Structure 1
Amino acid sequence: MRKRGVLMFLVLSLIFPIGIFAKTPTASVSKPAPTPVAYDLPYPGILPDHPLYFLKTIRDKIVDLFTSNPEKRVEFLLLMADKRLVMGRLLMEKENEELARSTISKGEKYFLRATEELVLLRKRNLESGDRLRERLRTAYKKHEEVVGGKWKDIDQLLMQIEQNLR
């Protein structure tokens, strides 16, 4: 009896399938999401809210002081700017907005110094100036993508950076 019931159920299921239909999507016009800039940001290490962060800042100042090669200096300043950007983003996720703003602002000041060094490098007509300029332009787009429009003082720094990259 039980086998007959199961068999009957299977036969009826094949003859009269129960259809479940998904709702057809309606055509909607929306703006496409802006494509993210293909620029990888570095790992920031310890954040400014860590008790040993002061050691990191001392190390960075020493490295900055002893970097004499103009190309290496631009690369170092860009690295510091990128790290500060990531630190600020992580601090925002931790809801520490004031420290995030300060950290990002310091990073953009590093970026501004990098563009000023690039201007000096290009005046010396060194070949690496064009390569570094393109790298800084890509980094600028990434910084603008992450920070753009959040704080007026940082936006002013970004405008100065853009002027130096022309």
Structure 2
Amino acid sequence: MGLPGTIWYLVVFLPRILYTLFCSMKKIGRFILIFLFLILIPAMAYFVMESSGASVNTPQEKVIYNLPYPGILSDHPLYFVKIIRDRLTEFLTRDNVKKAQLYLLYSDKRVAMAMTLAKKGKSQPAIEAFSKGEKYFLKIPDLLRAAKEQGGPAPSSFVETLKLSNAKHTELIGELMKTLPEGNQSGINGLLKLNLEIKKLLETLP
């Protein structure tokens, strides 16, 4: 390419190259501004809140644990039939680990029943059902200790399931605190006390 051709190339294409570079610089500048806005400003705001002693609320994750279907509720006329069946099954279950598993089922069902009753606006029956569920749960640690002494300890996976269930119950008590009307705080405090006692007992299990 001769000198005239080179000059023509520069005259035609150099402005385009410079314009492209200019536009690229503008895009980079915009990117930097967006970066500063999205990263630095929230970070500075968080720092200011921390320095002033303000708390930052973060949503708690839900406990992944499915409760069983509660079946007939305590407000049903035939509920007594369910009670008789449960007690008969409990009496016939002699193995400690199997009885512990049965009590977990009964406990979770009572908690599911409590949540259903609460949605129906039946506060006191809901608290009573939840309390019965936690009392079933309280029987489980002693059964597992007895099973271990007899040489038939429960699998570690079952202990982890118990801890998950207890955590789910804690979460649902929190939901009751939000949904039940005022005047039920004493009953809810009783549930919290039972739930905490269960948690401490589970921590002692191997």
Q: TM above 0.5, one fold?
A: yes
Q: Hey, what's the Cα distance between the residues in 2 that align with 1:100 and 1:122?
A: 35
1:9 paired residue number: none
TM-score, scaled to structure 2:
0.63
- Identify if the C-alpha distance between structure 1 residues 123 and 134 changes in structure 2 by more than 3 Å, giving closer, same or farther: farther
Q: Does 1:65 align with 2:91?
A: yes
Report the residue type matching 1:100 in the other structure: A
- Identify if the C-alpha distance between structure 1 residues 125 and 144 changes in structure 2 by more than 3 Å, giving closer, same or farther: farther
Q: Hey, what's the Cα distance between the residues in 1 that align with 2:157 and 2:151?
A: 12
Structure with higher RCO (Cα < 8 A, 6+ apart): 1
Q: How far did 1:37 drift?
A: 0.9
Q: Hey, what's the Cα distance between the residues in 1 that align with 2:148 and 2:197?
A: 17
Q: Does 1:131 align with 2:157?
A: yes
Stretches of structure 2 lacking an aligned partner (at least 5 in a row): 1-41, 47-55, 178-187
Over alpha carbons, which structure has the higher Rg? 2
Structure holding more helix per residue = 2
Query: How many equivalent residue pairs?
Result: 142
- Identify if the C-alpha distance between structure 1 residues 125 and 31 changes in structure 2 by more than 3 Å, giving closer, same or farther: farther
Q: Does 1:74 align with 2:100?
A: yes
| Counterpart among 116, 119, 127 of residue 90 in structure 1 | 116
- Identify if the C-alpha distance between structure 1 residues 50 and 125 changes in structure 2 by more than 3 Å, giving closer, same or farther: same
| Counterpart among 189, 198, 203 of residue 152 in structure 1 | 189
2:169 paired residue number: 143
Q: How far did 1:112 drift?
A: 0.7
